[in-house]
Copies of this chain bind each other. A is one copy, B any other.
């Protein structure tokens, strides 16, 4: 019988792979530190819009989920975060072999947490900053057994 994770870093890693939509799109967690995560997506045709750029929704999902994970690294046991709102500014068309997202907590809190996520398109090893997202997360207590 496995014990549930109690270390916030371990919880963040566990949560990352539990969200079916995140697994379906193919995001990977490449780095976790207190208040920070880095994620990666190998870009495929299915991730694009009709002009061949990565769809804003793929970036928004990555930015939101990464911000949630960055916040999760700072939680107490028994807490979780839910996204209250986010705004994404699309800075440049996203074209490349991969996306990298770096998310960091701007303000931890007992009831609200604010984090920001930068997404970069990677082409031939060069990163281009393609979007900036600021996310507000609600800190909630998970019901026992939930």
Q: Mark A68-103, 1 if CB is under 8 A from B, else 0.
A: 000000000000101111111111110000000000
Interface presence of A30 (CB below 8 A): no
Decide yes or no whether A116 CB sits under 8 A from chain B. Answer: yes
Per assembly, the copies of the chain total 4
A114 to B55 Cα, complex, angstroms: 19
Q: Which residues of chain A from 39 to 66 have any CB-CB distance to chain B below 8 Å in the complex?
A: 45-51, 55-58, 60-62, 64-65
A44 to chain B, nearest CB (A): 9
Q: Is the CB of B46 within 8 A of A84?
A: no
Stretch at the interface among A1-9, A14-22, A119-127: A14-22
Pairs across A and B, CB under 8 Å, 8 listed: A21-B58, A22-B55, A51-B80, A57-B61, A57-B64, A60-B61, A84-B89, A106-B129
